[in-house]
A = this chain, B = another copy of it.
Amino acid sequence: MNIKIAYIGGGSKAWARRFMQDLALDAELSGEVALYDIDRPAAERNRMIAERIHAKPQAKAHFRYTVADRLEQALTGADFVIISILPGTFREMRTDVHLPEQYGIYQSVGDTAGPGGVLRALRTVPAYEGFARSIQCCCPDAWVLNLTNPMSILVKTLYRVFPGIKAFGCCHEVFHTQDFLCCVLKEMTGQQAQRRDIYTDASGINHFTWITQARYRDTDLLALLPGFMERYFESGYYEHGSAQQWTWDTFAYGNRVKMDLFRRYGALAAAGDRHLAEFVDRSWYLKDAETVRRWHFGLTTVAWREENQRRLIQESEEMAREEREIPLAPSGEELVRLIRGLLGLEVVVSNVNLPNRGQMPGIPEGAIVETNCIFTNGFADPIVSRPLPAGALALVRRCSDNLDLLDEGIAQRSRDKILASFRNQALCSGLTLEESEELFDRMCDAVRNADFPI
């Protein structure tokens, strides 16, 4: 299988490195990976790292890595396009995440919903409008895998600009919840299973997807939860480590938000608690630092992200300079599996983000929804999900409606509609009309650049 993969954001630290490892480990694939990044040195570093990876004896695939000067150069002839960019810099992200704190709005992530999500959308969508046009021009038949947040609005943008695009959005949050369910299975029945052994229904929008049914063989996993929660609700439980890990690891959480939502709505919200908290009224789980602590997660600061970024860049440089060992092991991500599925090498079922064409009842056609999907032989077709319980659906629909409103607003460059979406964010509840408008304007002013849509 000789394929060309264009990687937009090819200087990416985290995602690209994992992808390069998984790709190198696949014995059936070969071809070219064209890295494109506005930070060309970062792409060059990744190219060098890739070469080192492929030089290892365990590397089975044959891939040539190139760095493209221009986007169109990377795209031309591509069979697959991966988009994983960091929209703007941490300066803008500091605005997204921390400026709203002056209005009492605390965000644990700040890249999807809430004021941060809206602002991030505003400055990222114009770039995606360009990507869609370039893809339509250079490689209209390529499969486009988006990894960037805010996921839903960016996938929507790709389809809005180029309706014939074959794009979907990939996210690993549901995987972690599946890992969590495997832990539940083990704790309650002693059975061991990997997340690909179980099956979960999935429906919702990215970072606010819900599992309504989950089974391992004949075991109903959600039916185990009440018992599990009796044991672990108070202490919290973390699928990837100690229940206390959230106290020192900004990405960890105790799953208490998830369990609390399950208790209230009868379905399992399938994303990290840091994300979930941002889709509901801010007074529920994000009222203030004390509330957040009580729910056993943390507010990821941009200072932390900057420090982490510095560390990752240093690692990359050291890897590129052969001063640091490069690990080579499966990452647990699904990108390469999805590509294998699309190439017809296997049948893959995974949850992705696609325009609704019937797979999610209760949400309008065309809205970007996250459900299971089958990938094989050039097909990426969604599986019809089970209806969400009415309470959960009401929460999701509010957020989904907001996204559609935001999309319409950006498409029309309508400040009124964008502001209406901003104000209707669950995290903006409780702001007065004046406060939300002032916050919106201050955030826009802080990050406005040449492409800014309003």
Contacts and interface: CB of A to CB of B under 8 A. Distances in A.
Nearest to A423: B281
Contacts of A385: 381
A416 B392 CA distance: 12
A215 to B, nearest CB: 4
Interface stretch (A68-76, A122-130, A197-205): A197-205
A405 B390 contact: yes
Contact of A381 (B201, B376, B390, B430): B201
In the A-B complex, list the 4 residue pairs whose CB atoms are closest, starting with the nearest. Answer: A358-B358, A430-B430, A429-B429, A217-B344
Nearest to A218: B378
Interface stretch (A10-18, A47-55, A231-239, A396-404): A396-404
A130 to B, nearest CB: 25
A432 B383 contact: no
B405 A401 contact: no
Contacts of A393: 401
Contact of A349 (B374, B390, B430, B435): B374
Given A287-B432, A390-B417, A424-B394, A374 B383 contact: yes
Interface stretch (A299-307, A308-316, A359-367): A359-367
Given A201-B381, A213-B379, A377-B215, A397 B401 contact: yes
A198 B382 contact: no
A382 B381 contact: no
A382 B398 CA distance: 26
Contacts of A216: 344, 377
Contacts of A372: 374, 381
A73 to B, nearest CB: 23
Given A199-B376, A281-B431, 12 more contacts: A199-B377, A216-B344, A283-B431, A283-B432, A358-B358, A359-B384, A374-B383, A390-B408, A391-B420, A394-B402, A397-B401, A429-B430
Interface in A214-244: 215-218, 220
How many chain copies?
4
A394 B405 contact: yes
A84 to B, nearest CB: 24
A330 to B, nearest CB: 19
30 contacts: A199-B344, A199-B347, A199-B378, A199-B379, A201-B379, A217-B343, A217-B344, A281-B429, A347-B347, A349-B376, A357-B361, A357-B384, A372-B374, A372-B381, A374-B374, A374-B383, A382-B383, A382-B384, A384-B384, A390-B417, A391-B416, A391-B417, A391-B420, A393-B401, A394-B398, A394-B424, A397-B398, A397-B401, A398-B401, A429-B430
B197 A344 contact: yes
Contacts of A215: 344, 377-379
A138 interface: no
Contacts of A218: 343-344, 378
